[in-house]
Amino acid sequence: MRIGAYEVQAFSDGIFRLDGGSMFGVVPKPLWEKVKPADPLNRVAMDMTCLLIRDRARHVVVVETGAGPKLTDKQKRNFGIEDPPALLDELAKRGVHPDDVTLVINTHLHFDHAGGNTYRDDERVVATFPRASYAVQRLEWQDALAANERTRGSYLPDDYAPLEAAGKLELLDGDGELLPGVFVEQVRGHTRGTQTVRIKAADQTLWFSSDFLPDRHHLPLPWIPAFDLFPLETLEAKRTLLARAVAERWTVAFTHDVPRFGRIEQAEGRYRFEELAAQ
């Protein structure tokens, strides 16, 4: 879809699976399984959605890089990842070679968002996109480096430490405009240093949520993943941002929904996702 000077496409790196109870926090299973059926291991399947943003000035931006090629067989089994990562094929289908990418934005550094940042080349781990800088919040970088017993399972240092060593990490201190009309905004909730992406042109806004609002099933305010480190801040962020998304008619894409664009509608106090037909 077109937003001002930018052509924006959403695609999936593939499917992964997480525990459904963890995904829906305090919501009882009889409620969440109606919208998201669980597999025999109680896991729910989700896409790892990425965005490709391009303009005529040859900016080529990739938002999120999926789970990447470095996971062990055990990790793939645990996360129900059955197919190879689709990131590079999806980019190739759209005529994008890794050398063409000028900027990568990770909403945060969990493995399902930053795994494709790097790949293993013999003994070394190197940048997948050699010409790109990788934009991440400094707070997220610091928390990823200092992962604790609760957060360690989500952070895999090979996804980001080699980029820092190679001088490719662009550490951001809060909100900023990375390209004309392409904004990142820090939202505490899922982690301290999570950022969302908003592309704005004239009266159009496209918003890419991040994991405090991973899919349309999390639109009800109390449906908050147990993974979120600051659930009450997730609640307040949802309250504020969903009201804005409705009032300003933002086009929205989610990190873990089927890759597609839509609008948030509000009726009888409930938020609803209305998919846009033409993209």
What does the per-residue mask of binding to Zn ion show for 176-215, with x meaning CB under 5 A?
Answer: -----------------------------------x----
Smaller CB separation from Zn ion, 90 or 181: 90
Pick the stretch among 11-19, 24-32, 60-68, 111-119 that binds Zn ion (CB under 5 A): 111-119
Number of residues this chain uses to bind Zn ion (CB under 5 A): 2
CB 135 within 8 A of CB 184: yes
Closest contact distance (angstroms) between CB of 227 and Zn ion is: 8
Residue 13 makes contact with Zn ion by CB under 5 A: no
Closest contact distance (angstroms) between CB of 225 and Zn ion is: 9
Residue 8's SS3 state is strand
Selected binder of Zn ion within 13, 90, 112, 159 (CB under 5 A): 112
Chain centroid to CA 153? 17
Nearest CA-CA partner of 153 in 100, 206, 87, 227: 227
Closest contact distance (angstroms) between CB of 83 and Zn ion is: 17
Nearest CA-CA partner of 207 in 62, 11, 8: 8
Residue found under tokens 């931006």: 61
Q: How far apart are CA 68 and CA 134, in angstroms?
A: 15
Q: How far apart are CA 110 and CA 68, in angstroms?
A: 11
Closest contact distance (angstroms) between CB of 108 and Zn ion is: 8
Which residues of the shown chain bind Zn ion in the complex (CB under 5 A)?
Answer: 112, 211
